[in-house]
Amino acid sequence: GTTLGTSAAERGRYFGTAVAAPKLNDSVYTTILNREFNSVTAENEMKWDATEPSRGSFNFTSGDRILNHARQQGMSVRGHALLWHNQQPGWAQSMEGSSLRSAMTNHITQVAGHYRGQIHSWDVVNEAFADGTSGARRDSNLQRTGNDWIEVAFRTARAADPNAKLCYNDYNTDGINAKSNAIYNMVRDFKARGVPIDCVGFQSHLTNSVPSDYQANLQRFADLGVDVQITELDISGSNQANVYATVTRACLAVARCTGITVWGIRDSDSWRTGQNPLLFDAAGNKKPAYTAVLNALNEG
């Protein structure tokens, strides 16, 4: 194919990007978006602070704007993210215990219910494990409601939208390490007990290299019976084109790797200010990294 999305689709995958609603007014941005990508993730607009700014009152305006654009363009939509320790609205940040537990399950029910039938995959829980070598859960108000919060979140999401793939999403999980091992053990336990989980998202925010066991790590999760998705790919450094190609080839080599999402379109759109980690430059020109990805997608 001649674009990222059509080339990925020829290999049975999607190729997507994070989208910021205000940038849908920027014609350079939307021209690239509509030409190159067949999947979108709302960068911020479907998060808790955006969708439930005060308890029980929901605002889907900006999330709907992104969803409607995707539908008009025939793009699939990744929902991001139902529960996360970050970007909670203030009223939730100060909650603990059983009231938070009921607020979080209501949040899932209302948001996944609002988008029912329109979301390809939900990041049901984002970043629930700690960094470092402990393999422990990240301490957060959500974790303090009880260790079963993740299982409850997935069961609640399944009830709210039986059609969406339900994903666990995290970062620093790009090889076999204590954090990815802890997630692996959770997924294995969930599958053994029939807890609904359909995919694992690997954010893959990389800095000039990728672990040599990146593909093996994806494969071991796929072997548990879930899809794997590369969900927030961005790669800084002078070697970025080669690393982008390596990551792309790894996804293509794992049958249940269903797609790749880059975390923004132009370098100037990236949260990684100044690191130029994306496939298009600030003017919207294709970078060597773009060509490396396109070529990898089109390899036989």
- Catalytic annotation, residues: 232
Task: Provide the b/e sequence for 139-155 (b: ≥16 CB within 10 Å).
Answer: ebbbbebeeebbbbbbb
Query: Which CB, 50 or 294, lies closer to ligand G3I?
Result: 50
Q: Is 87 in the site for ligand G3I (CB under 6 A)?
A: yes
Q: Is 232 in the site for ligand G3I (CB under 6 A)?
A: yes
Give me the least distance between CB of 169 and ligand G3I, in Å please. 7
Query: Which CB, 91 or 271, lies closer to ligand G3I?
Result: 271
Query: Which CB, 60 or 271, lies closer to ligand G3I?
Result: 271
Q: Is 151 in the site for ligand G3I (CB under 6 A)?
A: no
Residue 235 bridge partners (DSSP): 206
Helix axes 214-222, 178-193, angle to 10 degrees: 10
Query: Which CB, 86 or 99, lies closer to ligand G3I?
Result: 86
- What stretches of the chain show up as alpha helix (H) in DSSP? 4-10, 27-36, 48-51, 61-72, 90-93, 97-114, 149-160, 178-193, 214-222, 240-253, 288-297
Q: Are 129 and 182 in contact (CB under 8 A)?
A: yes
Give me the least distance between CB of 120 and ligand G3I, in Å please. 17
Total residues contacting ligand G3I (rule CB under 6 A)? Answer: 8
Length of the chain: 300
Q: Which of 227, 107, 121 lies closest to 164, judged by CA?
A: 121
Q: Is 140 in the site for ligand G3I (CB under 6 A)?
A: no
Instruction: Report the residue from 3, 6, 44, 298 that binds ligand G3I according to the rule CB under 6 A.
Output: 44
Give the CA distances from residue 92 to residues 55, 87, 88, 142, 194, in Å, rounded to whole numbers and listed in that order.
8, 10, 6, 10, 29
Evaluate the omega torsion of the peptide bond into residue 81 and state whether it is cis, within 30 degrees of 0. Answer: yes
Query: Which CB, 86 or 94, lies closer to ligand G3I?
Result: 86
Give the CA distances from residue 160 to residues 78, 165, 256, in Å, rounded to whole numbers and listed in that order.
16, 12, 25
Give me the least distance between CB of 1 and ligand G3I, in Å please. 27
* DSSP class of 54: B
Q: Is 61 in the site for ligand G3I (CB under 6 A)?
A: no
Residue at shortest CB range from ligand G3I: 271
Q: Is 45 in the site for ligand G3I (CB under 6 A)?
A: no
Q: How far apart are the C-alpha atoms of 255 and 59, rounded to whole Å?
A: 37
Give me the least distance between CB of 219 and ligand G3I, in Å please. 23
Instruction: Report the residue from 31, 54, 68, 86 that binds ligand G3I according to the rule CB under 6 A.
Output: 86
Query: Which CB, 19 or 252, lies closer to ligand G3I?
Result: 19
Tokens of 226: 């879930």
Instruction: Report the residue from 43, 151, 198, 267 that binds ligand G3I according to the rule CB under 6 A.
Output: 43
Q: How far apart are the C-alpha atoms of 278 and 300, rounded to whole Å?
A: 25
Give me the least distance between CB of 41 and ligand G3I, in Å please. 9
Q: Enumerate binding residues for ligand G3I (CB under 6 A).
A: 43-44, 86-87, 126, 203, 232, 271
